[in-house]
Amino acid sequence: MTTTEGPVGGRGHVPWGTVLRNVALVVVVLVMIWLAFNVRLPSIAGIRADVDAAGAWGPIVFVLLYAVVATTPIPVTIMAVAGGMIFGVPLGTLLSLIGVVTGCLGGYGIARLLGESTVMRLLGSHAAVVEDRLAGGGFYAVCTLRLMPGIPYWPVNYGSGALGITARDFLVATVLASLPGQLSLVAVGAFMGSPDVPHGVVLGCSWALVIVLTVLAFRRWRGTRAQAPAEGEAAQDPGIAVGKA
**Residue 35's pLDDT band (boundaries 50, 70, 90)?**
low
pLDDT value of position 92 = 94
Q: How far is CA 135 from the centre of its chain?
A: 15
d(CA 153, CA 20): 26
According to DSSP, residue 41 is labeled P
Q: Is 90 exposed, middle or buried (0-12, 13-18, 19+ CB in 10 A)?
A: exposed
Axis crossing angle, helix 197-236 with helix 167-193, rounded to the nearest 10? 160
Could you report the per-residue pLDDT of 214-228, keeping only the tens digit for each?
A: 777 777 767 666 655
Most confident of 20-34, 171-185, 192-206, 209-223: 171-185
Taking only Cα atoms into account, the Rg of the chain, rounded to an integer number of angstroms, comes to: 22
pLDDT value of position 60 = 94
Select the more confidently predicted residue: 225 or 180: 180
pLDDT value of position 64 = 92
pLDDT value of position 44 = 74
pTM for this structure?
0.72
Could you report the per-residue pLDDT of 62-115, keeping only the tens digit for each?
A: 999 999 888 888 788 889 999 999 999 999 999 999 999 999 999 998 888 887
d(CA 190, CA 81): 8
Q: Is 91 exposed, middle or buried (0-12, 13-18, 19+ CB in 10 A)?
A: middle
Give the mean model confidence (pLDDT) for residues 204-233. 70
How much is the mean pLDDT over the chain?
A: 77
pLDDT value of position 245 = 34
d(CA 59, CA 11): 56
Q: Which of 182, 179, 129 is nearest to 156 (CA)?
A: 129
Identify whether the C-beta of residue 70 lies closer than 8 Å to the C-beta of residue 35: no
According to DSSP, residue 166 is labeled -
Angle at alpha carbon of residue 82, lines to 76 and 88, rounded to 5°: 125
Three-state SS at 39: coil
d(CA 240, CA 41): 59
- The number of residues making up the chain comes to 245
Helix locations, the chain, DSSP H: 16-38, 44-53, 58-71, 77-87, 89-114, 116-123, 127-134, 139-147, 153-162, 167-193, 197-236, 238-244
